[in-house]
Structure formats: structure tokens, C-alpha cells
Amino acid sequence: MRQVDLGVDIGSLRLSNPVLTASGTFGYGLEFRSFGDISALGGIVVKGTTLEPRAGNRPQRVVETAAGMLNSIGLENPGVDYFLTHYLPELRDLGVTTIVNMAGNTVEEYCRLTERLQQPGVAALELNISCPNVKAGGMAFGTSETAVYEVVGQVKRHTSLPLIVKLSPNVTDIASIAQAAEAAGADAISLVNTLLGMAVDTRTRRPILGNVVGGLSGPAIKPVALRMVWQVAQAVRVPVIGLGGIMTANDALEFIICGASAVQIGAANFIEPGTAWQVIDGIASYLREQGLSSVRELVGSLQF
């Protein structure tokens, strides 16, 4: 069988293939070992990590929707120290490319968390800027070019690791937000995070989610995510990582053709836990069928 090169570069980080798992959908990777070799994935973006443990939002936290799901987990996690002590050593021993998704409510929190994560075995950092900036009245960092520039610039000063900035789709001009992140020092851009949505119980006339609103993910958001990835890939020079409703290899290929150097599998992990490995195989098969030797030849190859 003809060999193809699936390797891609995300800043200084070399991935063996372009398929990552999205934060909050794959746990810490160790939970999925019965479904495949997790070290064979391009990488794992672990569950959102904060400085201190978080209990998360009150239930109900998840609602199934048409072609997707709403979640309002609230960044429940055991905190960075627990991650470094209990999860990172095993991931490191298994040879897993580990990317840590970071969350915080102030620039200072992000910076302190970044410093704690300068550890062997952490391959890169993903900065979640969909978090509320408590010093700016609760407005999400990622909805303001000024706030994006500030938090990315400050975090970048505290790390030599590749810094991936994860963008929220809940903005009017995604390209300008991406450009602000790039100007502040982002090594790559990942998008999109979930879209804000809600669901109502008509019997009680109350919101189903305990937090009222939550993040919409799954196939329903793919066309929006694909459009935003295409726009951002044209607006920045750093690599773009696409996510949002990727369920199959063909979905992933669409994102790559639109300019994504890599992709993340999210909601699909809840439906078919082996999806990430299937997508890797599917991309390789497509390259062979198309007579391409490298996945890099496909990035941004959309024709008009």
C-alpha cells in the first residue's frame, strides 16, 4: 500500500498526523485506551484545566438537540496540581502528544496557570478565551480584540511552548479576533468553540439546563465552523486548527481544504469513541486515492 505523509506542523510542534481530540470531549485520554492506541493520535487536548479545582455548574448539564448537543459543564476539573500529579506522568510514559487547554477568569490566573504547566510532557498550550473576564464585567475575553491581545500577549511572555488560541464563534468578526491573537504572539489558532444556545421544557416552561444557556456542538454547527475556519485561514499566517461538528473523515477533509492544518474531534467522541482513529485512516485513504503524497498539499486547496 502506498505510503502517505500525514505529518503537520503547528508552530514548532510536529504532529504525526492532523487529528487531535477536542478539550472536554475525550477526558484525559486515558479513559479511551480500550478503543485504540492514544499515542497514535496527532495529539490529545485534555479537559479544560484551571488553577484551582472547580465543581462546575449545577445540573442539568447536558441536553441532546437536533443534530447536536448543548452542554453547560462549567469547567469542572480537579485543578492543575492534580493534573500534573495524576494524569500527566502516565500520558508522558505512554508517549502521548499532550496539549493542555487552559481556562481562567483573569489575566493573572492565566499567567500563573501557564507557569505551572511548563513541565516535561506538555507539548503545547491551548488558551480558552471563551471564559468570562471578571475584571471586565464578565464579558468573555474572546469577544474583544483588545482583551484578546492583552491576554494572549501576557500569557506568551510566560511560556516557550507553542501557544494555540481557541476562538469563540460568538462574535461579529472572527477574522479580526484571530488577527489580534496572532499579533499578540499566538503560534496557532483553533476554532470554533461552542455556539451559545438554550433549550426549554414546555411542560414546566423552564430552561432545561441548570445554567439556562450552554454551548452547542455537533453536526449542527459544522457549516458555521467551516465558514469561520475558511475566513480565519485567509486572515492569518499562523496555522489554523479546525473543529466543530466533525463526525467523519470527509468532514475533516473539508476543514483541511478550507485551510486547517489540523482538526479536532469533539462531540463525535460521545457517539463513536473510535472516531478519531477512523478519521486518521480516512484521511490517509483519501490522499492515496487523490495521488497526493502529503496532507500538507491539501491544506487551503479550496478552488473557486
Which residues form the catalytic set?
131
Report the b/e string of 178-187 with b at 16+ CB within 10 A. Answer: bbbbbebbbb
Residue with cell 493534573: 83
Residue 296 near residue 8 (C-beta atoms within 8 A) = yes
Residues 6+ apart with CB under 8 A from 114: 102, 125, 155, 158, 159
17: CB partners within 8 A, 6+ apart: 6, 7, 8, 41, 42, 280, 283, 295
Instruction: In whole angstroms, give the CA distance from residue 96 to residue 237.
Output: 27
Q: Tell me how far apart the alpha carbons of residues 185 and 145 are, in angstroms, rounded to a whole number.
A: 13
C-alpha cell belonging to residue 228: 469561520
DSSP 8-state symbol, 297: G
Rounded Cα gap, residues 53 and 42, in angstroms: 28
DSSP 8-state secondary structure symbol assigned to residue 36 = S
